[in-house]
Amino acid sequence: MKSKLQFISAMLIFGTIGLFRRMIPFPSSLIAASRGLIGTLFLILFLLTTHQKLNWTHIRKSLFPLLLSGTMMGFNWILLFESYNYTSVAVSTVCYYMAPVFVILASPVLFKTALTQKKIFCAITAFSGILLVSGIFTTDFTGLHEITGVLLGLGAAILYASVILINKKMSDIQAFDRTVMQLGTSAMVLFPYTLMTEDLSSLSLNGQTIILLLITGIVHTGIAYALYFISIKEMEPESIALYSYIDPMSAILFSAFFLQESIALIEIIGIVLILGSAVLSEFEHPSKPTN
């Protein structure tokens, strides 16, 4: 029971990140870089206080895929945070949850697995859901904000699916070691990227923004990832797959309650199709996004 409560807590924390991103008046790349740095420092402190050490032997053996996946994770956050700026948190989140479907589509090529009728059904169902939440049936195409947000969310999902696939190739490295390296890499890559692409001279850093950045780094990254990895050691894969959907469902509810975001009936149908196909796919590929 304790491990399930820890896992549910992690999912609920992940489900609120869209709310906090909306309140931080900084470019997405700077928020993502700050999140990576603060999260890395927190997890290193956690390892020190629990008398654990990073396995540098395994890290050195997988250094290139760790650096590559860490870079992808950072840009995945940028696209997801930008998606929140263009469409609702609910739509961004469900688009992000296309990642397991992308993993299914890529697995036959990368891992020589069979593309079964069930997998094809999941992919088609999820794609149908994307069409419904994209707004192409309701927008008059004068603004394209909604579709831009959907495309950014799908881009984030593709990048995170790539991280999942790379992680599958690194089965000999511990989850904490992998996460610390990936978060650290994302920070090291995104800070120079932000300096080169954003004009930060006009930004003002006040107490509220500092607190929000610390919450995003410590709570949404450090604490949530720690709870996630501690809890999954004691849980069955099927339970992990099912409980993981507390994240998108809570994100949808939080956005409706706190941000007053309305969801049209056609979008609700699309959300059900996407999450339903992702839940079905999890029983063969238990790999889902962690925001």
Give the burial class of 9: count Cβ atoms within 10 A of its Cβ; 0-12 exposed, 13-18 middle, 19 or more buried. middle
Most confident of 93-97, 131-135, 194-198: 194-198
When pLDDT is averaged across residues 165-194 and rounded to a whole number, the result is 91
Average pLDDT, the chain: 87
Give the pLDDT confidence score for residue 141 in this predicted structure.
46
Residue 288 lies in a domain: no
Q: State the DSSP string of 228-289.
A: HHHHHTTS-HHHHHHHTTHHHHHHHHHHHHHS-----HHHHHHHHHHHHHHHHHHTT-----
d(CA 155, CA 158): 5
Lowest mean pLDDT among 30-44, 190-204, 232-246: 232-246
Number of compact structural domains in the chain: 1
Instruction: Give Cα 168 to chain centroid, integer Å.
Output: 17
When pLDDT is averaged across residues 83-91 and rounded to a whole number, the result is 89
Q: Tell me which of 126 and 284 has the higher pLDDT.
A: 126
> How do residues 244-280 score in pLDDT, each as one tens digit?
878 888 888 888 889 888 777 888 888 888 888 877 7
Residue 289 lies in a domain: no
When pLDDT is averaged across residues 175-187 and rounded to a whole number, the result is 93
- Quickly state the pLDDT bin for 137 (edges 50, 70, 90): low
Give the pLDDT confidence score for residue 282 in this predicted structure.
63
To 5 degrees, how large is the angle CA 35–CA 3–CA 13? Answer: 30
Residue 290 lies in a domain: no
Is residue 79 within 8 A of residue 153, CB to CB? The reply is yes
Site of tokens 């029983």? 283
Q: Which helix (H) or strand (E) holds 214?
A: helix 207-214
> How do residues 201-244 score in pLDDT, each as one tens digit?
888 889 999 999 999 999 999 999 889 888 887 877 667 777 88
d(CA 175, CA 183): 12
d(CA 66, CA 249): 30
Give the burial class of 11: count Cβ atoms within 10 A of its Cβ; 0-12 exposed, 13-18 middle, 19 or more buried. buried
Residue 222 lies in a domain: yes
Say whether pLDDT at 95 is over 70. Answer: yes
Residue 96 lies in a domain: yes
Residue 212 lies in a domain: yes
Say whether pLDDT at 286 is over 80. Answer: no
- Quickly state the pLDDT bin for 99 (edges 50, 70, 90): confident
Q: What range does the domain containing 33 cover?
A: 2-282
